[in-house]
Structure 1
Amino acid sequence: MSISPPAPAAPAASRLTDRKRHAIVAAAIAEFRANGFEATSMDKIAASAGVSKRTVYNHFPSKDELFAQILHQLWDSSAALMAIAYRAGVPLREQLLELMSQKMALLQDGYFLDLARVAIAETIHSPARAQDMVARLSDKEEGVTTWLRAAQADGKLLKADPLFSATLLQGQLKTFAFWPQVTMGQPPLPPTMQRQVVETAVDMFLAYYA
């Protein structure tokens, strides 16, 4: 059996660049949360990140581009955890419990919640700017919607708008495990409550749609 050689390590300069980019995004999230989009300057972000203002602009030509990167990270965080494909022959409840448990884990992740607070705050303050940035992501279909569409095609769920159905299902989780944390600073749900919310949401959904 042949063994592939290890992948070459990234050059030191590349790793340093990646660290600086990560530091800039982290600093921007902190500044946007503390001061809002309009009151946050690229100077403040540079100082908070410990880099020069020129370095910030080398990575992000404008504050709008930096905010757009935060929205992309918010989407990527969600998409990475929701990439469970529909499996024909596996009970719907088992699959949905797995899918919604991953969704619950995402909704209770501190970094995800920080990104969500920044995005939601700017949407409220400047709907036009936020809507323009969100529109760049509109061609991507969220994982739960994709799963529901496949289950419908397999004849296991009632024919209904999969986007509406996905919003209905996930909305039950967000009522307990997202909006209270984002808007009122409540702590994450304890594991027993997380399981109760997930199981109840799934069972109610299947009682109607299965």
Structure 2
Amino acid sequence: MNVSRASNGASPKLRHAGSRQAIIEAAGRLFLERGFGSVSMDELAAAAGVARRTLYNQFATKEEIFREMLRGVSRQLEAALPTGLEPHRDVEDVLRVVAHAILELHRHPEYCGFLRMLVADSRHFPWIAEEFAAVMEPQTERLVHYLTHLTTAGILDCHNPSLAAHQFMGMLNELSLWPWMIGRESLPFAADEVVDETIRMFLQRYRRLQSRGVGTVDAG
């Protein structure tokens, strides 16, 4: 089969999807390399290998392209983090799953590069930080709701579940994410050790005394 003829004969829907994805991928590369503000629409069209008219047929502005990238980050987060924090499972097991998912996410260069770009560009484009926060908050809220549920059930004692959730994630970020963000390698600790010690510290503070060693909620 002639490849070029097959390509030319592709349906408009497939060509549309291919062009759109090529633009998003090119934007990801250029935005991460140079920052959102330093990339023009013409440069995006050239990097994506599409005509300028095709680019504007797909996206009217760079902001639209960035928001499409954010939706990709949101899907990545949803895929990385557990879909459900099961209240009937042992709390240590659930926190271990969450912690390993967070550390695994930090290993994706695209995700960390996106965060670095966000920090650099949000000063000049505050809406970028606001929209990224809107993507992150639902993921954090899943952990907040879980901690709230365990507090109500008497397993944990989190007076402020939102603060507790950020503390838990912050301990992991300090060891895995932030060194990379400032141009250093992650600290030389094994992932299992980081996770175990983070959970131990967290539960030392938040597990109710009478429930220590229990850690499960009656599913009924």
1:193 match: 190
2:81 match: 82
Counting matched residue pairs gives 197
1:106 match: 105
Is the alpha carbon distance of 1:93 and 1:129 closer, same or farther for their aligned partners in structure 2, counting shifts above 3 Å?
A: same
Q: Distance in 2 between matches of 1:197 and 1:174?
A: 11
1:61-81 deviation per Cα after TM superposition (whole angstroms, max 9, x unaligned): 111121222233223322332
Q: Distance in 1 between matches of 2:75 and 2:43?
A: 26
Structure 1's unaligned 5+ residue stretches are 1-10
Q: Distance in 1 between matches of 2:143 and 2:86?
A: 13
2:163 match: 164
Give the AA of the match of 1:140. P
1:38 match: 37
Q: What does 1:12-161 correspond to in 2, within 5 Å?
A: 12-123=11-122, 125-134=123-132, 136-137=134-135, 140=138, 142=140, 143-161=142-160
> What's the CA shift for 1:139?
7.0
Give the AA of the match of 2:199. V
Is the alpha carbon distance of 1:131 and 1:116 closer, same or farther for their aligned partners in structure 2, counting shifts above 3 Å?
A: closer
Q: Distance in 1 between matches of 2:82 and 2:56?
A: 33
Considering only aligned residues, what root-mean-square deviation do their CA atoms show, in Å? 2.4
1:58-103 deviation per Cα after TM superposition (whole angstroms, max 9, x unaligned): 2221111212222332233223322342334422111111111111
2:82 touches 2:101 (CA, 8 Å); kept in 1? no
Deviates more, 1:68-77 or 1:93-102: 68-77
Max Rg structure: 2
Report the identity percentage.
24
1:137-190 deviation per Cα after TM superposition (whole angstroms, max 9, x unaligned): 487352322322232233211132222111100111111211122231x44677
Q: Distance in 1 between matches of 2:134 and 2:118?
A: 14
Give the AA of the match of 1:145. V
Is the alpha carbon distance of 1:118 and 1:196 closer, same or farther for their aligned partners in structure 2, counting shifts above 3 Å?
A: same
Q: Distance in 1 between matches of 2:26 and 2:137?
A: 29
1:7 match: none
Q: Distance in 1 between matches of 2:71 and 2:101?
A: 19
Give the alignment's TM-score, normalised by structure 1: 0.81
Q: Distance in 2 between matches of 1:56 and 1:195?
A: 45
1:21-78 deviation per Cα after TM superposition (whole angstroms, max 9, x unaligned): 2221121121112222222101111111111122222222111121222233223322
Deviates more, 1:113-122 or 1:97-106: 113-122
Is the alpha carbon distance of 1:139 and 1:106 closer, same or farther for their aligned partners in structure 2, counting shifts above 3 Å?
A: closer
Secondary structure, counterpart of 1:78 in structure 2:
helix
1:27 touches 1:45 (CA, 8 Å); kept in 2? yes
Q: Distance in 1 between matches of 2:153 and 2:190?
A: 32
1:108 touches 1:189 (CA, 8 Å); kept in 2? no
Q: Distance in 1 between matches of 2:147 and 2:106?
A: 20
